[in-house]
Amino acid sequence: MTEPRPTILVVEDEPEIRRFLRASLGAEGYRVVESATGRRGVIDAGTHKPDLVIVDLGLPDLDGIEVVKRIREWSPVPILILSARIHERSKVEALDAGADDYVTKPFGMGELLARVRVALRHAARSRVGTSILEFENATVDLERRTATRDGKDVRLTPIEFRLLTCLAKHLGMVVTHGQLLGEVWGPTHRNDTHYVRIYMKQLREKLEKDPVRPRHLVTELGVGYRLMTDE
């Protein structure tokens, strides 16, 4: 192996959950560091310099959201949240506080590993940047501000471009309604969720092969959207 193994820090109080995370992530070739408490996790994030942090939202000592905030104060490391159904709202709060993605408990390892790969790839790519988005039968060039579908030009509005740009910055990862509204329309519009619904509908009609069953502009109900491209 020429590249060092990516290190993943798991901040989770349940030993049984840490056990299967350690086993599966280890089997996939990651080096796993475990913290059983939130405070320990914040310290370990500093000392181990992980490539990715997985944080459980239901920690006993320190709120998972607080862990995200404290790590974000000094580190851009990708953070994945593990949330239970009862944490619906704190999940969005944690994402707005700087977490990059989430998985809802109970989850299958397949789902978690997919999120881990996307987040690690994203961290590597954000130094390079993505400006060409490939859809099923459409292409968008964010830099040159052009879009084509089946070889023909498609007109996108400035807001539609800004929305795509914002989603592309987090390619493959969830972006909350609040983040999109704040970044595209400005901080005074953070609660105007109907704006983003209408625009996502327009974008889907322009770019998705089947707008009712979108493959690229994916809805994360109650949370936000996720841009998935064919790679």
Partner 1 sequence: MNAPRNFAGYAWAVVATAASTAAALAMASRFDLVNIAMVYLLAVVVIALRFSYGPAILASITSVAALDYLFVPPRGHFSVDDAQYLLTFVIVLVVALVISHLVENVRRQAKAQSALEVEAETERIRSTLLASISHDLRTPLAVIVGASSSLAESGERLSAEDRHALAGSVFAQASALTEHVAKVLQMTRFETGTIDLDREWTTVNEIAGSVLGRLKERMATHRLIVDLPTDLPLVRVDAGLVEQALGNLLENGATHTAPGTVIRLSAQRNEDELVVSVVDYGDGLPDGDVEQLFAKFHPHPAGGTGSGMGLGLAICRAIARLHGGRVWAERVPGGGAAFRLALPIEKAPVVPEENYAA
Burial of 31 (0-12, 13-18, 19+ CB in 10 A): middle
Q: Which of residues 161-200 bind partner 1 (CB under 8 A)?
A: 161, 192-195, 197-200
Site for partner 1 (CB under 8 A): which residue of 88, 111, 134, 141? 88
Per the CB < 8 A criterion, the answer to whether 76 and 98 are in contact is no
85 binds partner 1 (CB under 8 A): yes
Q: List b or e across 151-163, with b for residues whose CB sees 16 or more CB atoms inside 10 angstroms.
A: eeeeebeeebbbb
* Residue listed under structure tokens 């990651």: 30
Residue window 97-126: x/- pattern of binding to partner 1, with contact defined by CB under 8 A: ---------x-x------------------
Site string for partner 1, 35-74 (x = CB under 8 A): ----------------------------------------
Query: How many residues touch partner 1 (CB under 8 A)?
Result: 29
CA–CA distances in Å: residue 7 to residues 21, 32, 49, 54, 87: 13, 6, 8, 11, 27
Out of 16, 153, 205, 230, name the contact with partner 1 by CB under 8 A.
205
What is the identity of the amino acid at 119?
A
- DSSP summary character for residue 112: H
Binding site for partner 1 (CB under 8 A): 85, 88-89, 106, 108, 145, 155, 157-159, 161, 192-195, 197-201, 205, 211-214, 218-219, 221-222
